[in-house]
Amino acid sequence: METDLLKPPQLKQGEGIGVIAPAGPVTRSEIQPGIKLLNSSGYNVVSGPHLYHKKGYVAGEDEERLEDLHSMFINNKVKAIICARGGYGSLRLLNRIDFDLIQRNPKIIVGYSDITALLLAIYKKTHLITFHGPVVKDISKNNNRNLTSFFDLVSSGKSLKLDLSGGRTLMRGKVSGTLLGGNLSLISSLMGTPFMPSLKGAILLIEEKDEPLYRVDRMLTHLRLSGSLDDLAGLLAGGFEDCGDMSSINNILLDTVSDLNIPLISGLPVGHGLENITLPLGLPCTLDTNLRTLSFTESCVIKQIRERI
Protein backbone atom coordinates (compact mmCIF):
# COMPACT_ATOMS: atom_id res chain seq x y z
CA MET A 1 0.00 0.00 0.00
CA GLU A 2 1.19 3.51 -0.81
CA THR A 3 1.95 5.44 2.38
CA ASP A 4 0.49 8.57 0.79
CA LEU A 5 -2.70 6.93 -0.45
CA LEU A 6 -5.38 9.58 -0.95
CA LYS A 7 -9.05 8.82 -0.34
CA PRO A 8 -12.00 10.99 -1.36
CA PRO A 9 -14.68 12.05 1.14
CA GLN A 10 -17.73 9.81 1.24
CA LEU A 11 -20.78 10.85 -0.74
CA LYS A 12 -23.89 11.94 1.17
CA GLN A 13 -27.44 12.35 -0.08
CA GLY A 14 -28.23 15.87 -1.18
CA GLU A 15 -24.70 16.52 -2.37
CA GLY A 16 -23.69 17.36 -5.92
CA ILE A 17 -22.74 14.82 -8.58
CA GLY A 18 -20.94 16.16 -11.62
CA VAL A 19 -21.51 14.63 -15.06
CA ILE A 20 -18.86 15.05 -17.76
CA ALA A 21 -18.01 13.44 -21.10
CA PRO A 22 -14.21 13.13 -21.27
CA ALA A 23 -14.35 10.52 -24.03
CA GLY A 24 -17.06 9.80 -26.62
CA PRO A 25 -20.00 12.14 -27.37
CA VAL A 26 -23.48 11.73 -25.90
CA THR A 27 -26.90 13.12 -26.72
CA ARG A 28 -29.44 14.40 -24.25
CA SER A 29 -31.77 11.50 -25.00
CA GLU A 30 -29.01 8.99 -24.22
CA ILE A 31 -28.17 10.24 -20.75
CA GLN A 32 -31.21 12.16 -19.53
CA PRO A 33 -32.72 8.96 -18.06
CA GLY A 34 -29.52 8.46 -16.06
CA ILE A 35 -29.44 12.07 -14.91
CA LYS A 36 -33.09 11.86 -13.82
CA LEU A 37 -32.29 8.68 -11.91
CA LEU A 38 -29.44 10.40 -10.06
CA ASN A 39 -31.66 13.36 -9.21
CA SER A 40 -34.48 11.12 -8.03
CA SER A 41 -32.00 9.23 -5.84
CA GLY A 42 -31.51 12.38 -3.80
CA TYR A 43 -28.51 14.03 -5.44
CA ASN A 44 -28.02 17.32 -7.26
CA VAL A 45 -26.66 16.74 -10.74
CA VAL A 46 -24.27 19.36 -12.12
CA SER A 47 -23.68 18.99 -15.86
CA GLY A 48 -20.40 20.00 -17.46
CA PRO A 49 -20.76 23.13 -19.63
CA HIS A 50 -19.66 21.20 -22.73
CA LEU A 51 -21.40 17.92 -21.88
CA TYR A 52 -23.24 17.65 -25.22
CA HIS A 53 -20.53 18.95 -27.49
CA LYS A 54 -19.29 16.74 -30.30
CA LYS A 55 -16.28 16.69 -32.58
CA GLY A 56 -16.33 13.55 -34.68
CA TYR A 57 -15.81 10.58 -32.38
CA VAL A 58 -15.05 12.62 -29.24
CA ALA A 59 -17.20 14.85 -27.03
CA GLY A 60 -15.91 18.19 -28.26
CA GLU A 61 -12.49 19.79 -28.40
CA ASP A 62 -9.81 18.47 -26.05
CA GLU A 63 -9.74 21.84 -24.28
CA GLU A 64 -13.51 21.70 -23.67
CA ARG A 65 -13.43 18.21 -22.20
CA LEU A 66 -10.43 19.13 -20.08
CA GLU A 67 -12.16 22.27 -18.84
CA ASP A 68 -15.18 20.25 -17.76
CA LEU A 69 -12.97 17.80 -15.85
CA HIS A 70 -11.10 20.57 -14.05
CA SER A 71 -14.28 22.51 -13.30
CA MET A 72 -15.76 19.56 -11.42
CA PHE A 73 -12.73 19.26 -9.16
CA ILE A 74 -12.81 23.03 -8.53
CA ASN A 75 -16.55 23.17 -7.76
CA ASN A 76 -16.98 22.78 -3.99
CA LYS A 77 -20.61 21.72 -4.44
CA VAL A 78 -19.60 18.67 -6.49
CA LYS A 79 -18.57 15.69 -4.35
CA ALA A 80 -18.56 12.93 -6.99
CA ILE A 81 -17.96 12.84 -10.74
CA ILE A 82 -19.66 10.26 -12.96
CA CYS A 83 -18.52 10.05 -16.58
CA ALA A 84 -21.27 10.07 -19.20
CA ARG A 85 -19.90 7.20 -21.33
CA GLY A 86 -16.74 5.54 -22.60
CA GLY A 87 -15.86 5.42 -26.28
CA TYR A 88 -12.58 7.16 -27.05
CA GLY A 89 -10.87 10.38 -26.02
CA SER A 90 -9.61 10.09 -22.44
CA LEU A 91 -6.06 9.34 -23.57
CA ARG A 92 -5.88 12.66 -25.41
CA LEU A 93 -6.32 14.57 -22.15
CA LEU A 94 -3.72 12.93 -19.96
CA ASN A 95 -0.73 15.14 -20.69
CA ARG A 96 -2.80 18.29 -20.06
CA ILE A 97 -4.51 17.39 -16.79
CA ASP A 98 -3.71 19.52 -13.74
CA PHE A 99 -3.02 16.64 -11.35
CA ASP A 100 -2.02 19.06 -8.58
CA LEU A 101 -5.53 20.51 -8.76
CA ILE A 102 -7.02 17.03 -8.40
CA GLN A 103 -4.71 16.20 -5.50
CA ARG A 104 -5.77 19.37 -3.67
CA ASN A 105 -9.46 18.57 -4.22
CA PRO A 106 -9.85 14.78 -3.90
CA LYS A 107 -13.26 13.57 -5.09
CA ILE A 108 -14.97 10.39 -6.16
CA ILE A 109 -14.63 9.77 -9.90
CA VAL A 110 -16.18 6.74 -11.58
CA GLY A 111 -16.45 5.17 -15.02
CA TYR A 112 -15.19 2.25 -17.10
CA SER A 113 -14.15 1.30 -20.63
CA ASP A 114 -12.23 4.27 -22.12
CA ILE A 115 -12.43 6.02 -18.73
CA THR A 116 -9.86 3.43 -17.54
CA ALA A 117 -7.14 5.75 -18.88
CA LEU A 118 -8.39 8.61 -16.72
CA LEU A 119 -8.81 6.49 -13.59
CA LEU A 120 -5.35 4.92 -13.76
CA ALA A 121 -3.60 8.18 -14.65
CA ILE A 122 -5.21 10.02 -11.74
CA TYR A 123 -4.18 7.25 -9.36
CA LYS A 124 -0.64 7.18 -10.74
CA LYS A 125 -0.13 10.94 -10.47
CA THR A 126 -2.02 11.68 -7.23
CA HIS A 127 -2.50 8.31 -5.42
CA LEU A 128 -6.21 9.15 -5.27
CA ILE A 129 -8.51 6.12 -5.09
CA THR A 130 -10.63 6.03 -8.25
CA PHE A 131 -13.64 3.87 -9.05
CA HIS A 132 -14.24 1.38 -11.84
CA GLY A 133 -18.01 1.36 -12.18
CA PRO A 134 -21.06 2.54 -14.14
CA VAL A 135 -21.35 5.51 -16.49
CA VAL A 136 -24.43 7.69 -16.81
CA LYS A 137 -25.40 6.28 -20.22
CA ASP A 138 -26.02 2.80 -18.79
CA ILE A 139 -26.41 3.53 -15.10
CA SER A 140 -29.90 2.04 -14.94
CA LYS A 141 -28.79 -1.34 -16.34
CA ASN A 142 -29.36 -4.41 -14.22
CA ASN A 143 -32.51 -2.92 -12.65
CA ASN A 144 -30.48 -0.09 -11.07
CA ARG A 145 -28.36 -2.58 -9.13
CA ASN A 146 -25.16 -1.21 -10.67
CA LEU A 147 -26.04 2.24 -9.36
CA THR A 148 -26.90 0.77 -5.96
CA SER A 149 -23.51 -0.96 -5.89
CA PHE A 150 -21.81 2.38 -6.53
CA PHE A 151 -23.77 4.26 -3.88
CA ASP A 152 -23.28 1.50 -1.31
CA LEU A 153 -19.53 1.63 -1.80
CA VAL A 154 -18.94 5.39 -1.78
CA SER A 155 -21.57 6.36 0.80
CA SER A 156 -21.20 3.79 3.55
CA GLY A 157 -17.59 4.24 4.59
CA LYS A 158 -17.46 0.51 5.28
CA SER A 159 -14.92 -1.99 4.01
CA LEU A 160 -15.95 -4.21 1.10
CA LYS A 161 -15.97 -7.99 0.76
CA LEU A 162 -17.11 -9.48 -2.54
CA ASP A 163 -18.41 -12.98 -3.13
CA LEU A 164 -16.82 -14.28 -6.34
CA SER A 165 -18.58 -17.63 -6.27
CA GLY A 166 -20.09 -16.88 -9.67
CA GLY A 167 -16.63 -16.82 -11.21
CA ARG A 168 -14.39 -19.66 -12.32
CA THR A 169 -11.14 -20.37 -10.51
CA LEU A 170 -8.38 -21.03 -13.05
CA MET A 171 -5.41 -20.94 -10.67
CA ARG A 172 -5.68 -21.31 -6.93
CA GLY A 173 -4.09 -19.21 -4.24
CA LYS A 174 -4.43 -16.36 -1.76
CA VAL A 175 -2.58 -13.07 -2.19
CA SER A 176 -2.74 -9.46 -1.07
CA GLY A 177 -2.01 -6.49 -3.28
CA THR A 178 -3.28 -3.23 -4.72
CA LEU A 179 -6.29 -3.53 -7.01
CA LEU A 180 -5.61 -1.91 -10.38
CA GLY A 181 -6.89 -2.29 -13.90
CA GLY A 182 -9.93 -1.85 -16.09
CA ASN A 183 -10.32 -2.16 -19.83
CA LEU A 184 -7.61 -4.32 -21.41
CA SER A 185 -7.23 -2.15 -24.54
CA LEU A 186 -6.63 0.95 -22.45
CA ILE A 187 -4.19 -0.80 -20.12
CA SER A 188 -2.26 -1.95 -23.18
CA SER A 189 -2.31 1.59 -24.62
CA LEU A 190 -1.06 3.13 -21.36
CA MET A 191 1.94 0.82 -21.06
CA GLY A 192 5.17 2.67 -21.68
CA THR A 193 3.64 6.04 -20.76
CA PRO A 194 4.15 7.98 -17.51
CA PHE A 195 0.46 7.58 -16.73
CA MET A 196 0.40 3.82 -16.10
CA PRO A 197 0.88 2.70 -12.48
CA SER A 198 3.35 -0.07 -11.78
CA LEU A 199 1.74 -3.50 -11.57
CA LYS A 200 4.38 -4.81 -9.19
CA GLY A 201 2.52 -6.55 -6.38
CA ALA A 202 -0.84 -5.60 -7.90
CA ILE A 203 -4.01 -7.62 -8.34
CA LEU A 204 -4.93 -6.78 -11.92
CA LEU A 205 -8.52 -6.50 -13.11
CA ILE A 206 -9.18 -6.74 -16.86
CA GLU A 207 -12.34 -6.63 -18.99
CA GLU A 208 -13.05 -6.10 -22.68
CA LYS A 209 -15.71 -5.75 -25.39
CA ASP A 210 -15.85 -6.30 -29.16
CA GLU A 211 -12.30 -7.54 -29.50
CA PRO A 212 -11.74 -10.83 -31.37
CA LEU A 213 -9.76 -13.55 -29.63
CA TYR A 214 -6.54 -12.88 -31.54
CA ARG A 215 -6.57 -9.23 -30.40
CA VAL A 216 -7.16 -10.23 -26.77
CA ASP A 217 -4.26 -12.65 -27.18
CA ARG A 218 -2.11 -9.92 -28.75
CA MET A 219 -2.74 -7.42 -25.95
CA LEU A 220 -2.08 -9.91 -23.16
CA THR A 221 1.03 -11.18 -24.94
CA HIS A 222 2.25 -7.59 -25.29
CA LEU A 223 1.81 -7.03 -21.55
CA ARG A 224 3.72 -10.21 -20.83
CA LEU A 225 6.55 -9.49 -23.29
CA SER A 226 6.93 -5.97 -21.87
CA GLY A 227 7.59 -7.46 -18.43
CA SER A 228 4.59 -5.62 -16.99
CA LEU A 229 3.07 -8.81 -15.56
CA ASP A 230 6.24 -10.36 -14.17
CA ASP A 231 5.66 -9.22 -10.59
CA LEU A 232 1.86 -9.40 -10.62
CA ALA A 233 0.27 -10.75 -7.43
CA GLY A 234 -3.01 -11.94 -8.94
CA LEU A 235 -5.33 -11.62 -11.92
CA LEU A 236 -9.09 -11.00 -12.08
CA ALA A 237 -10.96 -11.30 -15.39
CA GLY A 238 -14.29 -9.56 -15.71
CA GLY A 239 -16.62 -9.66 -18.67
CA PHE A 240 -15.32 -10.19 -22.20
CA GLU A 241 -18.45 -9.22 -24.11
CA ASP A 242 -18.57 -10.22 -27.79
CA CYS A 243 -14.95 -11.37 -27.70
CA GLY A 244 -15.62 -15.06 -28.29
CA ASP A 245 -16.58 -17.85 -25.92
CA MET A 246 -15.30 -17.52 -22.36
CA SER A 247 -13.57 -20.90 -22.43
CA SER A 248 -11.29 -19.59 -25.19
CA ILE A 249 -10.64 -16.42 -23.18
CA ASN A 250 -9.74 -18.56 -20.17
CA ASN A 251 -7.28 -20.54 -22.27
CA ILE A 252 -5.60 -17.34 -23.42
CA LEU A 253 -5.37 -16.14 -19.81
CA LEU A 254 -3.78 -19.40 -18.74
CA ASP A 255 -1.37 -19.38 -21.68
CA THR A 256 -0.29 -15.88 -20.65
CA VAL A 257 0.28 -16.24 -16.90
CA SER A 258 0.23 -19.92 -15.91
CA ASP A 259 3.99 -19.97 -15.36
CA LEU A 260 3.72 -17.05 -12.93
CA ASN A 261 1.83 -19.26 -10.46
CA ILE A 262 -0.50 -16.49 -9.36
CA PRO A 263 -4.17 -16.76 -8.33
CA LEU A 264 -6.45 -16.31 -11.35
CA ILE A 265 -10.23 -16.17 -11.47
CA SER A 266 -12.51 -15.25 -14.37
CA GLY A 267 -16.15 -14.38 -14.83
CA LEU A 268 -16.41 -11.39 -12.47
CA PRO A 269 -19.55 -9.24 -12.88
CA VAL A 270 -17.47 -6.26 -14.02
CA GLY A 271 -17.35 -4.51 -17.37
CA HIS A 272 -19.61 -4.05 -20.39
CA GLY A 273 -22.15 -6.73 -19.48
CA LEU A 274 -25.46 -6.39 -17.70
CA GLU A 275 -23.84 -6.36 -14.27
CA ASN A 276 -21.02 -3.93 -13.52
CA ILE A 277 -20.27 -3.68 -9.82
CA THR A 278 -18.13 -0.81 -8.58
CA LEU A 279 -14.56 -1.51 -7.46
CA PRO A 280 -12.02 0.89 -5.88
CA LEU A 281 -8.79 1.14 -7.88
CA GLY A 282 -5.65 1.73 -5.84
CA LEU A 283 -6.95 0.19 -2.62
CA PRO A 284 -5.18 -2.77 -0.97
CA CYS A 285 -7.17 -6.02 -1.05
CA THR A 286 -6.87 -9.78 -0.64
CA LEU A 287 -7.85 -12.24 -3.36
CA ASP A 288 -8.63 -15.80 -2.25
CA THR A 289 -9.51 -18.01 -5.20
CA ASN A 290 -10.10 -21.00 -2.92
CA LEU A 291 -12.88 -19.20 -1.03
CA ARG A 292 -13.64 -17.08 -4.10
CA THR A 293 -13.57 -13.78 -2.24
CA LEU A 294 -12.08 -10.35 -2.81
CA SER A 295 -11.72 -8.51 0.50
CA PHE A 296 -10.77 -4.94 1.33
CA THR A 297 -9.76 -4.37 4.94
CA GLU A 298 -10.30 -0.62 4.86
CA SER A 299 -12.80 1.84 3.47
CA CYS A 300 -12.20 3.48 0.10
CA VAL A 301 -13.56 6.84 1.33
CA ILE A 302 -13.06 9.03 4.38
CA LYS A 303 -15.98 10.05 6.58
CA GLN A 304 -14.69 13.52 7.27
CA ILE A 305 -12.81 16.01 5.14
CA ARG A 306 -10.43 18.37 6.81
CA GLU A 307 -11.03 22.01 6.19
CA ARG A 308 -8.67 23.28 3.53
CA ILE A 309 -6.67 26.40 4.18
Task: Check if 207 is active-site.
Answer: yes
Backbone angles phi, psi at 110, to 5 degrees: -135, 150
From the list 32, 24, 133, 125, the residue with the least C-alpha distance to 73 is: 125
* Spatial distance between the Cα atoms of 86 and 93, rounded to a whole number of angstroms: 14
Catalytic residue (one of 90, 113, 188, 228): 113
Catalytic residue (one of 47, 149, 266, 272): 272
Task: Specify the DSSP class assigned to residue 302.
Answer: B
From the list 266, 54, 234, the residue with the least C-alpha distance to 164 is: 266
Q: Are 256 and 230 in contact (CB under 8 A)?
A: no
Listed in sequence order, the residues at least 6 apart from 1 whose beta carbon sits closer than 8 Å to its beta carbon are: 178, 284
Task: Check if 113 is active-site.
Answer: yes
Backbone angles phi, psi at 177, to 5 degrees: -175, 180
Task: Check if 156 is active-site.
Answer: no
Catalytic residue (one of 207, 208, 228, 299): 207
Determine what percent of the chain falls in helix, strand and coil, rounding each to the nearest 5. 35, 25, 40
Q: Are 8 and 72 in contact (CB under 8 A)?
A: no
From the list 195, 163, 192, the residue with the least C-alpha distance to 180 is: 195
Name the burial class of residue 277, with classes exposed (0-12), middle (13-18) and buried (19+) by CB atoms within 10 angstroms of its CB. buried
Catalytic residues: 113, 207, 272
